């Protein structure tokens, strides 16, 4: 009734894990991701009871950086034993590599819209590949949008 149509073929993330793995490899080669062996429980215990612990805009505690501070030899030893890791984006390093600030023009509140400056560092080191699936929503949606030429996103 709105006149919207699906672009075909419909892209299913589960059918494109190989493409996400290539994107993750690029991030590894740039040195902006690191393996994280922490479970959610371990992360929770590390920040539990610390009322002044930094939190993201949704109120969740930021990752404490346990594996970020881990030495290369220990990381490699964990990986060699088959210990599964999620991969986190080193937000400080990735942000420092930007040539210009991130932002977008937001429409919908009247006029010509307003410019919004992105502040990705407030979310901490996000997971870009889960330990049980070779991607996360964050990585998959960026790869998919780039491949499909998505330039505008409507949220409601």
- For 71-96, what is each residue's pLDDT tens digit? 989 998 998 998 899 999 999 999 99
Angstrom distance (rounded) from CA 72 to CA 29: 15
User: CA separation (Å) from 90 to 10, 65, 85, 150?
Assistant: 32, 10, 15, 25
How much is the pTM?
Answer: 0.85
**pLDDT of res. 46:** 92
User: CA separation (Å) from 74 to 32, 77, 117, 144?
Assistant: 18, 5, 37, 34
Angstrom distance (rounded) from CA 90 to CA 30: 11
**pLDDT of res. 10:** 84
**pLDDT of res. 156:** 61
β-strand partners of 129: 87
For the beta carbon of residue 65, count every other beta carbon within 10 angstroms.
16
The CATH number corresponding to 31-44+55-148 among 3.90.800, 1.10.3470, 1.20.1500, 3.90.180 equals 3.90.800
Determine the average pLDDT of the residues in 55-67. Answer: 93
């Amino acid at each position: 009734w709105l006149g919207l149509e699906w672009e075909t073929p419909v892209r299913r993330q589960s059918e494109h894990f190989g493409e996400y793995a290539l994107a993750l490899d690029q991030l590894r080669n740039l040195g902006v991701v690191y393996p994280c062996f922490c479970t959610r429980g371990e992360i929770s215990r590390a920040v539990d009871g610390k009322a002044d612990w930094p939190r993201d805009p949704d109120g969740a505690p930021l990752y404490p950086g346990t594996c970020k501070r881990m030495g290369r030899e220990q990381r490699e030893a964990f990986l060699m034993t088959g210990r599964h890791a999620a991969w986190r984006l080193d937000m400080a390093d990735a942000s420092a590599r930007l040539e210009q600030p991130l932002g977008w023009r937001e429409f919908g509140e009247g006029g010509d819209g307003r410019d919004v400056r992105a502040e990705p560092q407030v979310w901490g080191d996000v997971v870009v590949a889960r330990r049980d699936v070779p991607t996360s929503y964050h990585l998959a949606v960026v790869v998919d949008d780039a491949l499909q030429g998505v330039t505008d996103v409507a949220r409601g």
